[in-house]
Amino acid sequence: MVVIAASDASFAGMPRGRSQGGCVVSMANPALWHSGLLKRVVRSSLAAEISQAALSLEEGDSCRALLAEMALKTFSLAGWLPAVSIWRLILVLDSRTGYDLLNGTALGEDKRLAIDIAATKQALQEDGAERMVRWVPGEELIADDLTKLTGNVKLMQVLAATWALKDTESARKLRQDAAARKRAYRQRLSADRAAAESQRTR
């Protein structure tokens, strides 16, 4: 069994410009995996996503600890981390930028956001914690319904059936489109630099 903490946030998308965060924690068969309002005012969509991701990771750990206390006779709060690590915790996001930041070395320019990123990265990399992060397209994220007035209805579908983190054709197409846009941007940037250099040498 694995523990899934699906996290989503919408920046200033609710009445009176408020940001909304959502988290769905679930217990799942490992076959699924294939290799309320935010309490803090945030400045951007990315800050909302990372803030909620950090909270969702904590919620997932809380559920793992509760499960360990029920299932293991030797459980103690002092040794909770080794006890909960028998169930892998997977944090699921639909923010590609947030996912890349949590898997890379950058921390972003906003100081408060950098603190959340650093703390979440540290939690994901902690020895023996069995935590990891996974990206899925927004239309596949089960926490989406909790952050928007009109969501993707995925949560209701999952409650009535099943959900999988296995790769899909729509996810592959989104990745290909993003890669193509990135290549085009780099080519444009390279051409602009070459043109500017050419102008300087004349």
Q: Are residues 134 and 201 in the same domain?
A: no
- The mean pLDDT of 72-89, rounded to a whole number, is 94
The one-letter amino acid at 46: L
Of the listed ranges 59-73, 80-94, 155-169, the least confidently predicted one is: 155-169
Residue 64's pLDDT band, with cuts at 50, 70 and 90, is very high
Total structural domains within the chain: 2
Does residue 6 have a pLDDT over 50?
A: yes
Structural domain of 194 = 167-202
Report the CATH number that the domain containing residue 63 is assigned in CATH. Answer: 3.30.420.10
Angle at 164 between CA 171 and CA 34, to 5 degrees: 75
Do 33 and 95 fall into the same domain? yes
